[in-house]
Amino acid sequence: MLMETPSACALVDRFGRRVSYLRLSVTDRCDLRCVYCMSERMTFMPRRDILSLDELSRVARAFIRLGVRKIRITGGEPLVRKGVIDLFQDLSACLQDGSLQELTLTTNGTRLARHARDLALAGVRRVNISLDTLDPHRFAALTRGGSLATVLEGIDAAQEAGLAVKINTVALRGSTEDEIDDLISFAHTRGMGLTLIETMPLGETGEDRLDQYLPLTLLRRQIEARWSLTDIGLRTGGPARYARVAETGGVIGFITPMTHNFCETCNRVRVTAAGVLHTCLGQEDAADLKAVLRSSDSNTPLMETIAHALKHKPKGHDFVLDRASVPQIARHMSATGG
């Protein structure tokens, strides 16, 4: 039986991979409807099924006791969750006592202007901001009505608050090729990293992902026609592989779940806002943490459930894009957590 004491090695799967990174979703809701992530008319989980902020804190602290050292708060859009800053403030105690090394956030940026300072005060040192285009009209089309100006205001606020910013861009055919040079210049002239991500077959969006899909092998070739890239060994805890741009001194990350999945070094798990633990983004494995949370005030059963689930973490995923098929994974990325 696991005791409620810290462990630096409790979360090691059967392939010898140590899990030290939790992506914790606080909501499946979002104020945008990006065409590769959501359908235009989404059905969200009932609020009663969503973990409370106290329950989310219990989950996070259980993972910390089991050896997780980095937590990323995700959504949906995490900053639409009422009171979410309280969760950051609560977990900041784990940063202060050294049991947690990093607390970060992935956001679409629409609410950063009002929350950036509070996030910095809670110990957040860097944020990932999703931004797929610098064209206001294209941004509105890709997000189904979003405002680019609002996101740019959020980026300004984050940097003014002292937060390091990395831009996440989903590579989309017919869009990213046109703007990749501008995106590199925009990010690097402001001291921000840029990470490119291949679109994945998660959830029904009403769009054909085969039409959207742009392999990063092709996009990198296009980048190298203008920019000089040198692969570097930088690791930030996630799946990206990085290259430095000689002309700017900045860094580009490449996340390639379709062309090269890097599952052999996976150190991550995800917990949805409903308390479902997924040990692999691209598989349907699941462990219900909510039922355990709500049946016992002790964290020992919760930690035992987590440790047991890790023993069944899959070796990897094998995403396939097929025009004739339904999405490979039924759940949306917004429900799983980015």
Please enumerate, by residue number, every residue annotated as part of a binding site for S-adenosyl-L-methionine: 36, 76, 130, 200
Q: How many CB atoms lie within 10 A of CB 247?
A: 12
Rg (C-alpha) for the chain, rounded Å, is 19
Residues 158 and 114 sit within 8 Å (Cβ to Cβ): no
Question: What residues form the annotated binding site for GTP?
Answer: 23, 72, 106, 166, 268-270
Binding-site entries: 23, 30, 34, 36-37, 72, 76, 106, 130, 166, 200, 263, 266, 268-270, 280
**Whole-number Å distance between alpha carbons of 272 and 73:** 10
User: What are 287's strand-pairing partners?
Assistant: 277
**159-162 long-range Cβ contacts below 8 angstroms, 24+ apart:** 159/190, 159/191, 160/116, 161/116, 161/117, 161/119, 161/120, 162/120
Output the CA angle 213-214-219, nearest 5 degrees: 170
Q: By the 8 A CB rule, do 113 and 153 touch?
A: yes
Binding site for [4Fe-4S] cluster: what residues are annotated?
Answer: 30, 34, 37, 263, 266, 280
Q: In this structure, what token pair is assigned to residue 74?
A: 């995700």
Measured in residues, the chain has a length of: 338
How many whole angstroms separate alpha carbon 114 and alpha carbon 123?
A: 16
